[in-house]
Amino acid sequence: MTPFSSQILESIEYAAELLRKAHHAIVLTGAGLSTPSGIPDFRSEGTGLWSRDEPLEVASLLTFRTHPESFYRWFRPLAGQIFNAKPNAAHFALAELEAHGRLHAILTQNIDMLHQKAGSKRVFELHGTLRTLSCTQCYQQFGYENHLAQFVTEGKIPYCPACGAILKPDIILFGEQLPYKAVMDAQYEARNCDLIIVIGSSLEVMPVAGLPMQAIDRGAHLIIINNSPTYLNVRADVVLPEDVARIIPAVAERVLHD
């Protein structure tokens, strides 16, 4: 494994110092946190989902309502990757920080449940979750295990066992409102934290991208760990454009064991 440069080590130490001193630290995570687990992000050139598909054509609420089979055809490979993914070292490090009282909450744009699989408890899923599906007619909710497993392996679109209508994964599609309670909880956390750590998010999708601004406008410190620049890099105390699966465990090690 390539050792960190002296400059990166210095930034890791400063990030750990900010986290040790924080009384109410939170994390905002995006797709870049899960790419080491084999789940593609959305905007990376050549590999991101939106570099291959037009999002409004394949992942909009309108498409799901009018041509659900088109949505499910596009969604099946991604669902399989998520279904089989395992948390990486960054997920486990965040869960350990939370367990030791160093992190108060995780706000996530991800739908993959990897935070929960790693052991994190206070997770606010701002773009929905693949953990459940809801009936489009009778609105009953079902766990993903039975319905998505068959879809991933056999390609059978899931239907409601109660009324026979099509089931929709409880993820937020384009043209759909974000989950109200999760957004309200996230805004409360952002407005009351003294440190926010952005991990694996390009901060391009509103309104979630505005949460760090709410925090720093109230005096919170900001750490950004992301491969590509964000609009808030100039406001950050620390910027680490490095592999999250290496950086997060390195920061956690210094916070918990130094």
Q: Which amino acids are annotated catalytic?
A: 127
Structure tokens at 7: 């400059």
Q: What is the 3-state secondary structure (H, E, C) of the chain?
A: CCCCCHHHHHHHHHHHHHHHHCCCEEEEECHHHCHHHCCCCCCCCCCCHHHCCCHHHHCEHHHHHHCHHHHHHHHHHHHHHHHHCCCCHHHHHHHHHHHCCCCCEEEECCCCCHHHHHCCCCEEECCEEEEEEEECCCCCEEEHHHHHHHHHHHCCCCECCCCCCEEEEEECCECCCCCHHHHHHHHHHHHHCCEEEEECCCCCCCCHHHHHHHHHCCCCEEEEECCCCCCCHHHCCEEECCCHHHHHHHHHHHHHHC
Which pairing describes strands 128-135 and 167-171: parallel, antiparallel, or unpaired? antiparallel
Do 148 and 72 meet the contact criterion of CB atoms below 8 Å apart? no
Query: What letter represents residue 131's amino acid?
Result: R
CA dist 241 and 258 (Å) reads 24
The answer to whether the bond into 207 is cis (omega within 30° of 0) is: yes
